[in-house]
Structure 1
């Protein structure tokens, strides 16, 4: 404890400056979960109210009183009142107060306290999905109307940030961008309480992910009951898709069970264009896909409370995602608008991904003060097999055959990950301490082959085939200190230390690449409540972005004879420092400014040469960037039936390219503007409307981007006492959500546009039955960082 004294002195230096005495406590339930918004009332012996407050997100409260004798009453819906007579002659820390669930159940009367649609907390924005018409359909539809989040068919992002990590109940859900989108379609939004957008993660979270988190929080209900949800959705894009899923949850005495299964079947279309302007000719490509994506997902969890202090549980999670794609590409080589050559490619791609995750966890409470530790042991297995057959005819301007190419690309990737972590929660009289450690072991084998097909015979192309083995070991420790000093000040300081060791071996040419790095990742949150309805918040953290596993593999995956992509075994993680200052008024108006600086930034690089139509897509750590951002958001709720959230942001990025790439990659320093509005209209108890719109202005941040915007509409209505809910949604009604991207390589201008069938219509139904008092703890895996980097 002696090492903590300087920190504690800094945190509590203002604690003794108040003349009045302080009564401090933390309110939790029997499961040791914090109870937010509990009423805390202090009265005199004759019943006169002296002071009052409500608990915050941690369950904490502080009352300022004079010396004397009082009665303290703490109450919350569904729990027995906690009453105690106390004598105050000095500062008093009541530590943890446990509320007991009420035995007198209300069968005929339901009391509903409606939360704000959007809430701003110390480190996150909370979207209460259950109060929106987006609470039907799948969780992907709810994410589409979440402020600051952009959802397209090929991935999810936070506005102004390239990548984002998704969590479920505080645990990472790690899949590829494409598989993640497919998986989220299997989660009914009706099972979700809220979506949290976390732009400055604390030290407890793994250091991976420099673009923020999205945390999906399941509903929490009462015990000794069960519930079942049947969910189906019909989606019409260019082609139809049908989803059917069922969720069953049970909590009975010491046993908690959760089971979910989902099946999706359907197709989608992708249109891709690229125009490359060389000095003497133009290269214009038009490519169309039809993707058939089916998936079967299942999740099973079982928890058992051996005693009031000890709980053990298991989770098993499986996905099977077969995907079949048919695409046609016409590549025209033109000179003065005259076709010189044409490449016509027809391709079939088949791939199948199998994912299995297993988790064993133990939660052990040490006392009634909230001190506890948890242990997680995880295993993760990922397999992907894929084949791409393509046939290309090369013809001249008169459509006379010049040559043809026929080939088969084959790839197989196996990933195994084992991890172990332990976390301690140790609240003390002065500060709440969280600390823990985690170790992870990953083994990857990638086998990639290219066969040239000649006269019906597959001939192995040894130059473009390889076997790549990769090993990665990560050890990490962290510590967090949280203190609500008084009614005006609260602070959270922490640090995470991670050591990473990697070994990549290219079997084909016996090349071995090793890397090792030790990094410290500090975090800080400080909030000052200037007045009752005004607060100032500062946060800082350091994060890193490790390369995806496939990005490290130097295999070549061919799109056609003239174009392929490849990985880079020498990629390093990008390191980002984030600073943010936020000012909030009346909990509905927020003005913020931020600065982030990224070193060793990596991304895709297109290699082109004048007079050569070949296109090579590779990756490297080629830049350093500084980004400045200003943002204003406003929640409007002055009309009872209208909830609205407005957000606008302006950001400017300065980029410096490594000397090696200054004559290859042309990037821009530029400014971007983004605006969004999300509106929910509750006209009747069983009828809600959603109307959302976002707009991203043209900008030259890194690359030149044209404008993009999207108008979305939704309607939700319920029957049978809200047991049956119907949701109708239309997204990207104007078909304007995609944009042209303009890139320069060696001053060769390129214009790209990829449209992922974003305009679509969804009709969904959800039927719920059972006892609505269900309370199933949802827990995720401890090796989720590694799962996010698979492909």
Structure 2
């Protein structure tokens, strides 16, 4: 396809205009922007960057009258006279001599900055760097402050009251379990993040996966000519101290752009979890109760790297390669104290569990990408090839000691395990964009991915320092999945009316094989299904200025089970708490409807309705006195959401961004207890205030609050937090020192009740290490040549918007 398009371009004969751009000293201005205009109406015909020798050439021109304009930062614009092309002749223009502007680049002070939140027709964009309190934070903490996003104590992410959101990094799925995703996001410093795109109804270009929509985290990538870098380091003190260091550098010369981001953080966190359980007989008479107190003190050393190169083989063609890597060793000593009471509330026994684990997660990947822009109208072809390999391993030791109330040891049990896991991901996709007449554009693409996972669970009973295999829990699970997809997307503007509609087709093929052992037979399953996913957006400007806009949208999504949820293994927390996978999980499907009204960039009001079938949610059921947590299909979910988003500036030195929503979650369906019917209204709000105190001093006050809500079996109680930060710019504003206090009043405490458990009730309460003070230093340095910003439709900009 690429060769055919290039061949077709080469066969088009026409006129030619060439020239050279120089400065007042007759030196070439490498990278100057040269624009070809139609003399009749100043319409842009084409544009390009001047070559290292300052030369430029426009070819295959039709007979017409043209104007050529050259621009370069720090210099006055140069505009030629009329250039006439007749009978396909070639015109060589006199040298363009650009004189310096009245002010040098160093004297230009940039005082404006992007709003924290920006609304678009199909997404909400969060500019990470706009908040001082994001300094020293990690990606998961930044997400928790984004509009409509909620992160619980375990790192699970919900969006606008719904679970099952697809988290992407630079337009690529992470392919990680919830636990590994939380670990990975904690290892990403905020200094490496550029924007967060929140899409509750993504366009057809994106994977249909993600019941609650897509969260796309875009990392920083600089293509300014020359060498430049940003280094940052911070020290934080919470329950324990932690550090975070990173460097983001870029070097561009001629046609080559090299970039890298390296980050390292060393942290130890703390969490106390209390679970109270009461057990009953069939007549609701109490039989016993249990109080579990767990202490988690994970110590992590995370190292991550993202490095790559872009090669601009021509003004229209860019090749790129990106390498990513992450190493996250983890050590945790998590004692659990269990107090077992009889039916009269008298202490029956205590069980002390020492859970010691050593874990390691590594991820490495390579991406090859290509962008070709055929002409100045935006006709573009891109492709991406990806390979990702995730390897994790865990070695745990459980020591359970049971005591009578007088302290007499009655039983001791030792269990050890080894849990290796490997995931290989292969992906290829091609996207093509073709502008049409009348402010219209057609996009199409195909994608194919293949994933294979290999998970083992090796359990051993240890007696007198002799280990024997526990065949009841030992197993190995293999899973393979292939997804083939294609989409087409069309958008057009008719005066005040804009339309964007798309259709995506996805074919899924998955097979699972649970290997047996001497006590258990093999088992396997296969899933094959093909689905269509339509999307549509209708926008109407209520006035000619476009200040008042109505947007109506619809989209259909799928939530496939993640690989960890399909894994049928049992994972132990303590003697009374297990986690187990479910190989019989079915995908869930969601229909999303939304109506929104926006006034300028000041505020947006929206009402949304979502209907989900075969809802996947964490479920808790009881087997004897043991609580088993697994992911199950629990019927249907209906969510009605009303939200308001505002960006205000009451006075010049104070800007405010607020987001508030009221939503109702209703769950209905078959369940362990026979039938689940749960419904609750929830209010949630988050916002930030930014204060410009002087040219070098600024401050911020932010926070969120959420009332009680329901999520399947779980009913949470109200919680929230307040954050404060202050910043001082130094060293000619190239560096900054920031002090940030997260959760000032230590009010964030995710807690609630677990309902619909046959023969039992349960409550949970978390004490989380979120009250953290951070002192951070950031410094930008490097020398770069004065070059104009990249073209909005250029290859380099296109790369930033697609998978790197």
Structure 1 residue 83: Cα displacement? 8.2
Distance 2:229 2:493 in 1: 40
Q: Is the 8 A contact 2:191 2:232 kept in 1?
A: no
TM-score normalised to the size of structure 2?
0.82
Partner deviation per Cα, 1:485-513 (whole Å, 9 max, x = no partner): 22x11111001100000110111122110
Partner of 1:383: 391
Q: Is the 8 A contact 2:638 2:666 kept in 1?
A: yes
Distance 1:258 1:731 in 2: 31
Distance 2:136 2:330 in 1: 23
CA spacing shift, 1:71–1:679, aligned 2, 3 Å: farther
Partner of 1:505: 513
Structure 1 residue 607: Cα displacement? 1.6
Q: Is the 8 A contact 2:133 2:723 kept in 1?
A: no
Partner of 2:107: 109
Distance 1:154 1:781 in 2: 31
Correspondence for 1:722 among 723, 733, 757: 733
Q: Which runs of 5+ in 1 are unaligned?
A: 1-34, 36-40, 52-68, 87-99, 785-791
Partner deviation per Cα, 1:320-361 (whole Å, 9 max, x = no partner): 111110011111111333111221111101111111111111
My pick for the range that moved more, 201-210 or 103-112, is 103-112
Partner of 1:519: 531
Equivalent residues in 2 for 1:670-749, closer than 5 Å: 670-700=680-710, 702=712, 703-744=714-755, 745-746=757-758, 748-749=760-761
Partner of 2:240: 239
Structure 1 residue 165: Cα displacement? 3.4
Q: Is the 8 A contact 1:409 1:450 kept in 2?
A: yes
Structure 1 residue 690: Cα displacement? 1.1
Partner of 2:350: 342
Q: Is the 8 A contact 2:192 2:261 kept in 1?
A: no
Correspondence for 2:501 among 493, 504, 511: 493
Partner of 1:324: 331
Structure 1 residue 457: Cα displacement? 0.7
Structure 1 residue 674: Cα displacement? 1.1
Which of the pair has more CA radius of gyration? Answer: 2
Partner of 1:208: 209
Correspondence for 1:590 among 604, 624, 636: 604
Partner of 1:449: 458
Say yes or no: does 1:753 pair with 2:765. Answer: yes
Partner of 2:663: 651
Q: Is the 8 A contact 1:713 1:731 kept in 2?
A: yes
Partner of 1:566: 580
Correspondence for 1:599 among 600, 603, 613: 613
Structure 1 residue 82: Cα displacement? 10
Structure 1 residue 700: Cα displacement? 4.3
Q: Is the 8 A contact 2:594 2:609 kept in 1?
A: yes
3-state DSSP of counterpart to 2:625: strand
Q: Is the 8 A contact 1:405 1:561 kept in 2?
A: no
Partner of 2:376: 368
Distance 2:442 2:578 in 1: 51
Partner of 1:427: 435
Correspondence for 1:628 among 616, 635, 640: 640
Q: Is the 8 A contact 1:258 1:301 kept in 2?
A: yes
Q: Is the 8 A contact 1:420 1:782 kept in 2?
A: no
Distance 2:360 2:302 in 1: 10
Equivalent residues in 2 for 1:178-257, closer than 5 Å: 178-184=179-185, 187=188, 189-190=190-191, 192-218=193-219, 223-257=224-258
Partner of 2:306: 299
Structure 1 residue 780: Cα displacement? 8.5
Distance 1:192 1:83 in 2: 39
Partner deviation per Cα, 1:439-460 (whole Å, 9 max, x = no partner): 1111111111110111111110
Q: Is the 8 A contact 2:637 2:668 kept in 1?
A: yes
Q: Is the 8 A contact 1:474 1:500 kept in 2?
A: yes
Structure 1 residue 625: Cα displacement? 0.7
Q: Is the 8 A contact 1:409 1:557 kept in 2?
A: no
Distance 2:305 2:66 in 1: 54
Structure 1 residue 149: Cα displacement? 3.0
Distance 2:189 2:75 in 1: 29
CA spacing shift, 1:296–1:749, aligned 2, 3 Å: same
Partner deviation per Cα, 1:104-131 (whole Å, 9 max, x = no partner): 6842332534443432221222333444
Distance 2:75 2:554 in 1: 38
Correspondence for 2:541 among 529, 532, 537: 529
CA spacing shift, 1:427–1:737, aligned 2, 3 Å: same
CA spacing shift, 1:116–1:453, aligned 2, 3 Å: closer
Say yes or no: does 1:471 pair with 2:480. Answer: yes
Partner of 2:162: 161
Distance 1:74 1:133 in 2: 38
CA RMSD of aligned residues (A): 3.3
Equivalent residues in 2 for 1:277-292, closer than 5 Å: 277-279=278-280, 280-292=287-299
Which has the higher relative contact order, 1 or 2, with Cα contacts under 8 A spaced 6 or more apart? 1
CA spacing shift, 1:177–1:640, aligned 2, 3 Å: farther
Distance 2:800 2:187 in 1: 16
Distance 1:261 1:453 in 2: 42
CA spacing shift, 1:364–1:70, aligned 2, 3 Å: closer
TM-score normalised to the size of structure 1?
0.83
**What number of residue pairs does the alignment pair up?**
705
Q: Which runs of 5+ in 2 are unaligned?
A: 1-32, 44-64, 83-95, 281-286, 791-795
Distance 1:736 1:153 in 2: 13
Partner of 1:616: 628
Distance 2:99 2:452 in 1: 52
Correspondence for 1:578 among 592, 598, 610: 592
Distance 2:573 2:642 in 1: 40
Correspondence for 2:562 among 510, 524, 548: 548
CA spacing shift, 1:327–1:103, aligned 2, 3 Å: farther
